[in-house]
Structure 1
Amino acid sequence: MDNRNHGRCSLPRLAVGAAVLLFAVSLAATPAASHAGHDDTGLHSNYLVIVRKPYAYDTNLYKNVSSWHASLVASVCDMAKEALEKDPSSVSRLIYSYRNVVNGFAARLTPEEVQEMSKNDWFIRADPEKTYQLQTTHTPQLLGLMGGARRGGVWNTSNMGEGIIIGILDDGIYAGHPSFDGEGMKPPPAKWSGRCDFNKTVCNNKLIGARSYFESAKWKWKGLRDPVLPINEGQHGTHTSSTAAGSFVPGANVSGYAVGTAGGMAPRAHIAFYQVCYVEKGCDRDDILAAVDDALEDGVDILSLSLGDEQAGDFSDDPVSLGGYSAAMHGVLVSAAGGNTGPGPSTVVNEAPWVITVGAGTTDRRFVATVKLGSGVSLDGESLSEPKDFGAEMRPLVHDVGDGMCTTESVLRAMNVTGKIIICDAGGDVSVAKAKLVLRSGAAGMIVIAPQVYGSVIVPRPHVLPTVQMPFMIGQKIKAYIRSTPSPTANFIFKGTVFKAKSPVAAPFSSRGPNRRSRGILKPDIIGPGVNILAGVPKIEDLALGAEEVMPKFDIKSGTSMAAPHISGVAALIKNAHPTWSPAAIKSAMMTTADYTDNLRKPITDVDGTPATYYAIGAGYVNARKAIDPGLVYNLSSLDYIPYLCGLGYKDQKVNSIIHPGPAVECAKMPKVDQKDLNYPSITAVLDMEPYEVSINRSATNVGTATSTYAVEVDVPATLAVEVNPAKLEFRALNEVLNYTVTVKTASGKAPASTIEGQLKWVSGKKYVVRSPILVCAGTGGKSAASMGAAPA
């Protein structure tokens, strides 16, 4: 074969050739061509090419948008011949042709070809590929899903999400897991048009769809072949899918802990899985867009995305924002993880107001293990490493004299830790690898002290030797004990699974606001269970088993990745109970009914024990029982976000890129909506100009009792003055919409010295309390798009 032709686009420019291409090109934004091998030259890169809108192609010449996109790529294929001749890639370099998420296509191009494309009147921009990262039992009962009518069990009201299709974008799924057993499940609704690439014995009425998207990602990874099926040995996708909609599995546990019947939030919902991420390689933007494109046409009702980009640009550059807007146009709610880079400020991701951004909180379940010191003091930590017989004898207690983190085996051996319990600080390698090193050194047990930033929160893992994980402050007490005596000793007492601990607490890793791209919109929106969540996995990583032992199929994981599918599942329950509700209404129902106090009826705290801010928890911790019947909702259609985008200062091209395939708009010819006036369930006021007063508009839709009256209650610090007009909302019919205005000002008439938090409630008798957080910001974040974090260029 003559390899000199491999780098050239052989896509024809004529209509006849374009029609032939359709034979190989799926009309569902699947790969436009198969690419063999890996590009070693580095001359080509993947680009997302955005086409000007409106720009109509000749339907007489091209039968569909895919053939037109192919012709656009072919139009530059003769450029940079020397570079092309060195490229070992195969003939076609059109990767994806999009229909819903963006007005454009993904292609493999040289910089010279991109430069040539830019000369055409249809061209707007070409963005290089970006890689995104995954944001990585008891919770159905915790969230009030179980129980009869007297207890308000949501599963009774929503029929466990029956008939709802949840689309999961993640890193692969272990389809044979018992959580995906289809026994007793009804077939998917007639609207479902997706496909399952597993065979018929694996696909069933639970797992109805499974596809892989790799056409963009595969160019980056030398020697990595196309996945035949959307499966891998990773943990993430199986865990998130079973959390959202796993079937009931009795006897689920991890190392004997958390024993019970596992089930997802919506156990009768269907799962459609889209593999867009790959273990240790991330998730490529163009693959994500293609999966969302297909999922919307497949007929999903909810999309769950536990992925994001901490360095994302504006909403027109981010696949979660772009796909989320297209989803809103299709009536599909997107639940997206808020990120795992907390607790620093302005770390939250997936901030677009048309998606629900989910942070993580703890549950009331702990896996308690006590360290008993030779002094008689007992200190509690957590463990998933209970041995069958650890014994009651006290053992010598030592602390790593190397780096303190137990990362140097030679140091441990020199210390002669055989038969001793050793204390290891967090850091270095992950704790499961650290445990293997400690075990090889002969230690009888290990105490791992968590980072200080984690506060009281422990994220336990199974280890190869008895291990107790301790909060930082308790760890310092153990270290002080070692220093106080020449012969310190200790022993472990394993107490198993314990419930009713104080919860929720904002997870230390959960990313925080303020919203960098639109500060006038509070993010995250809500938090859900995201710490120590038991769900399905192919196997437990790094778990050592005896010859006769069976690998468990459940594991405990933590992250906003675990919180997002909880919200996806709850959204499916609400969708089943209220099939005509918009994504914004479902989102509003969860936000306005969320709990802002913990199970001790105290304000939700952060890991340091202080009250958690709205930047950590948004509207609060999801309460599914209340969300199914919220009384009022703040509704929005996809069109309502357009004046908001214009108000941010986005130029027409970027607005039209986001709202594709909707009709093109000109911001100069339409009213603009300030961020504060977007009909959002939370309220953010920026007081950065004299007289430090602002009026905010909202519209409430009655979805509770036809004839009902709501009275306003406002709770704000004395430094604020808040007036609501009118002070009562009197409804006479279901779906009636009433408007009100909230005027916020400082009591002193001066600029607020710092962020101020309060709340507004609409109360109707003893049944309905519709709550909105009020966040008042000072300083930056005023009128201009730039100060609000937008990128209007």
Structure 2
Amino acid sequence: MKVLPEAARAALARSNKEQKRFLGFFCESEMELSPTPLTIFILGLISILGISPANTALAVTDASSPLSTYIVQVRKRTDKHSFASEDLDTLYRSFLPTTAASSNQEQRMVHSYRHVLSGFAAKLTAEEAKAVRDKDGVLNVRPEKTLSLRTTHTPDFLGLHQGVGLWKESNFGKGVIIGVLDSGIFPNHPSFSDKGVPPPPAKWKGRCDFNGTSCNNKVIGARSFIGSVSVMQANPPYDGVGHGTHTSSTAAGAPVRDASDLGNAKGTAIGMAPLAHLAMYQVCDVYGCRDGDILAGIDAAIEDGVDVLSISIGGNSKPFFDDLIAMGTFAATQKGIFVSCSAGNSGPAYSTMENEAPWILTVGASSIDRSIKATARLENGQEFDGETLYQPHAFRPALLPLVYPGVSGDQTIAQCLPGSLKSRSDLQRKVVVCDLGDGSDPVAKGREVKDAGGIAMILVNGRTEGYTTLADAHVLPAVLLPFVAGREIKNYLSTASAPTATILFRGTQIGRSVAPAVSFFSSRGPSIQSPGILKPDIIGPGVNILAGWPFRLRNSTDKKRAFNIISGTSMSCPHLSGVAALLKSTHPDWSPAAIKSAIMTTAATSDMEGRPIVDQTLHPADIFATGAGHINPSKAVDPGLIYDIEPRDYVPYLCGLNYTDSEIERIAQKKVTCSSITSTPDYQLNYPSISMRFEGSVTKVSVTRTVRNVGPAKSRYKSVIDPIKGLDSIGVYPSFLEFTKANQTASFRIDFTRRVDWDATATPFAQGAITWVSAQHSVRTPVAVVFK
């Protein structure tokens, strides 16, 4: 394997602490962190799955060449006839400067786009890029950037059961095509068996670049877009990372009995839409996900005829006219394709959202009611529950001396970082307490403890991670405990004369009551780019998710591990993609906005015990962590009312964001004159949630919405208002909605009046909901109010 390029090495050097934490679950016990090809692979994997936005704005360059990849957007031709691909290629090449035109154009041209934007990606020098930028008809030239990639039990947890409910009504997603943009796929995995799956629908135009019979009625398409537009150079999109196999099998994996990871989470692994078709568009490798390749993947997915796009990729928040995922998915939505994206793994700080565009379903991550449990027991009888994927049956739970090497305050030692315990001869045959700390690899911490002679490790969360615990494949008996447990253990260590402890391994447990809970890493709103749109839209399972994994990524002594347990909003996104496929199968006439509305207005706001959903602190999660709430598939299929948005409605919305006409043209691919359009403020878009601001002396804000009846033809809804702190009054007009036929629409206005004495400094935002209730349905519209 080639050495990482300087750009990738620089990205790794800038990686924040969280990246290291989240890659811990990929480090197997046999892996040594030395400069070997395997190490290079792991480092590359970090660059892909890294959750920090620090490495998401790199120009892709070749250290041995002055050429870089640039994305060139040109004004769309207004000719009435449609251009063939060959004609577009000729048109695009006409924009290349003479220096590029005189060289091998086939090598210079990287991608030629047809749907996602009018333009192309090409290898240019900085001088050539400037020359292209100055040509007539060129809207924008920018360097390509690199973005990051962000189940046995989850169907049961989400209420999907064979023979009843949504699975039965949707026929398990039969006939729906889910396109996945990711790191490729391992097509011979049992999760991609096509048993019982019919041939793809006639509209399918895609192709399979695997050799032989790897594609079937399940995996109907597989193409790679890593750096080349040439069909002749097409490489089979084998998954060299694992991420794409995991997300694909989560969305639409076939049932696989006796699936487990190291014997844990055992059961029948099955995707959300097990009879749906899959099409893989490989746009990521060990070096990252280049946005030019992402655009090419979306472009092909539109051409091929997918119904749902699942994109577990993200980067820095940026204006939609400079966000190629937003631009590409806008084109997809215009074609009726539903798009689900990960919210990002940069929580719990506010305004850390990715993929904020309103035409995208933005998905945060929550826990499920399954734990892979271990318990730390102290000599004084205290017990603290945590998690670990490594469950050694031969470990004797006898009390052993307990020690915290970080008592001196040295954070390197406290976190048991590689090399920090080499001189510690006092750790022999002891249970060692280590801080999770800066997010470095938990498995590497255990290796350090083991090398120092420790017999077991108790790893404790910091305040940031709180009660979120992730299950790792440790190299010695170990358990990860919540922050509060770690604090209690350290108190015990400071008072006990001869502290001792042990670890009890409990295996897989179902029925954890505090579920779902929002994970600490799940990115939070408010949205930076469009504060009037509540983001995330929804949360779904994203903590300790078991799904398919390529055999060949496992080491030679452990080839049978075909499943892996990992965490991230990358895992929650395909859960929602699969649910969207089920809804599309049940309601083929519903628009992407209608499907999103059904998902959001029926979301759950309570956990399995009927209490409010909590976050990593075990306090109620706020609206910028949960969005509308937790996905509830069984209710989403029959929402009663839906908020719909026509594709044309987004142009006035973009004008309302104060984008220039040229900036909107880059998104909409047509000339727009905002001065001749009545713009729509973002909070007035007909969205299934409301996010509004009181700024300055403003004391009253009115919001209008329109709903469509998709329930019983004759129905009557009454408005129910959740009180919102900081508001004097909330008025809904009319307070009743009457429908006499199916698909009838009705509009209403909500007047929000602010309390003049409200202290915005002490309480900068509040939340509530407006719910329309009929005899059969409850349609909840979450409301976020920000005071400035």
| TM range, smaller chain | 0.7 to 0.9
* Residue of structure 2 aligned with 1:426, choices 422, 429, 436: 436
Cα pair distance change 1:651/1:215, threshold 3 Å? same
Distance 2:551 2:82 in 1: 51
* Residue of structure 2 aligned with 1:389, choices 366, 373, 394: 394
Moved more, 413-422 or 263-272: 413-422
Gaps of 5+ in 2: 1-59
Cα pair distance change 1:54/1:192, threshold 3 Å? closer
Distance 1:132 1:605 in 2: 30
Look at both structures and tell me which one has the larger radius of gyration over its CA atoms: 1
Displacement of 1:427 after TM fit?
3.7
1:679 match: 686
Distance 1:544 1:389 in 2: 23
1:725 match: 733
3-state SS, counterpart of residue 73 of structure 1:
coil
Tell me, yes or no, if the aligned pair for 2:425 and 2:452 is still in contact at 8 Å: no
* Residue of structure 2 aligned with 1:93, choices 108, 113, 124: 108
* Residue of structure 2 aligned with 1:183, choices 192, 195, 213: 195
Distance 1:78 1:274 in 2: 29
Cα pair distance change 1:452/1:335, threshold 3 Å? same
Cα pair distance change 1:410/1:63, threshold 3 Å? closer
3-state SS, counterpart of residue 271 of structure 1:
strand
2:503 match: 492
Displacement of 1:199 after TM fit?
2.4
Tell me, yes or no, if the aligned pair for 2:364 and 2:523 is still in contact at 8 Å: yes
User: Which residues of 2 match residues 564-579 of structure 1 at below 5 A?
Assistant: 564-579=573-588
* Residue of structure 1 aligned with 2:770, choices 738, 754, 760: 760
3-state SS, counterpart of residue 446 of structure 1:
strand
User: Which residues of 2 match residues 439-478 of structure 1 at below 5 A?
Assistant: 439-478=450-489
The C-alpha deviation readout for 1:496-532, integer Å capped at 9, x for no partner, is: 1112211111110001111010111111111001111
Distance 1:394 1:208 in 2: 55
The C-alpha deviation readout for 1:48-94, integer Å capped at 9, x for no partner, is: 11112456599999962121111221555379xxxx8xxxx876412
2:667 match: 658
Distance 1:540 1:488 in 2: 44
Tell me, yes or no, if the aligned pair for 1:533 and 1:562 is still in contact at 8 Å: yes
User: Which residues of 2 match residues 167-246 of structure 1 at below 5 A?
Assistant: 167-215=179-227, 228-246=235-253
Query: What amino acid is aligned across from residue 519 of structure 2 in structure 1?
Result: A
1:21 match: none
Distance 2:726 2:73 in 1: 48
Distance 2:338 2:180 in 1: 12
Tell me, yes or no, if the aligned pair for 1:458 and 1:471 is still in contact at 8 Å: yes
Cα pair distance change 1:67/1:157, threshold 3 Å? same
1:366 match: 371
Query: What amino acid is aligned across from residue 167 of structure 1 in structure 2?
Result: G
1:254 match: 261
Distance 2:344 2:337 in 1: 22
Tell me, yes or no, if the aligned pair for 2:353 and 2:535 is still in contact at 8 Å: yes
1:161 match: 173
1:735 match: 743
Distance 1:377 1:750 in 2: 45
User: Which residues of 2 match residues 67-106 of structure 1 at below 5 A?
Assistant: 67-73=90-96, 75=98, 77=100, 92-106=107-121
Displacement of 1:400 after TM fit?
2.5
Q: CA RMSD in A?
A: 2.5
Displacement of 1:488 after TM fit?
1.7
Tell me, yes or no, if the aligned pair for 1:52 and 1:653 is still in contact at 8 Å: no
Q: Does 1:329 align with 2:352?
A: no
Distance 2:592 2:419 in 1: 54
Query: What amino acid is aligned across from residue 682 of structure 1 in structure 2?
Result: S
Cα pair distance change 1:626/1:553, threshold 3 Å? same
- Identical-residue share of aligned pairs (%): 44
1:306 match: 312
Displacement of 1:566 after TM fit?
0.4
Cα pair distance change 1:110/1:606, threshold 3 Å? same
**Structure 1-normalised TM-score?**
0.87
Distance 1:62 1:604 in 2: 50
2:20 match: none
Distance 1:398 1:144 in 2: 44
3-state SS, counterpart of residue 464 of structure 2:
helix
Distance 1:406 1:509 in 2: 22
Tell me, yes or no, if the aligned pair for 2:177 and 2:308 is still in contact at 8 Å: yes
Q: Does 1:320 align with 2:320?
A: no
2:543 match: 531
1:613 match: 622
Tell me, yes or no, if the aligned pair for 1:315 and 1:321 is still in contact at 8 Å: yes
Cα pair distance change 1:708/1:130, threshold 3 Å? same
Query: What amino acid is aligned across from residue 137 of structure 2 in structure 1?
Result: W
The C-alpha deviation readout for 1:534-574, integer Å capped at 9, x for no partner, is: 11111497x778x5x65311111110000000000000000
1:769 match: 778
Displacement of 1:656 after TM fit?
1.6
Displacement of 1:441 after TM fit?
2.9
Gaps of 5+ in 1: 1-36, 219-224, 780-793
Tell me, yes or no, if the aligned pair for 1:692 and 1:751 is still in contact at 8 Å: no
Cα pair distance change 1:679/1:91, threshold 3 Å? closer
Cα pair distance change 1:187/1:436, threshold 3 Å? same
Distance 1:246 1:315 in 2: 32
Tell me, yes or no, if the aligned pair for 1:76 and 1:116 is still in contact at 8 Å: no
**Structure 2-normalised TM-score?**
0.87
* Residue of structure 1 aligned with 2:135, choices 120, 141, 146: 120
Distance 1:303 1:688 in 2: 37
3-state SS, counterpart of residue 423 of structure 1:
strand
2:47 match: none
3-state SS, counterpart of residue 528 of structure 1:
strand
Displacement of 1:321 after TM fit?
0.5
Cα pair distance change 1:442/1:380, threshold 3 Å? same
User: Which residues of 2 match residues 572-611 of structure 1 at below 5 A?
Assistant: 572-611=581-620
Distance 2:589 2:376 in 1: 54
Distance 1:773 1:60 in 2: 44
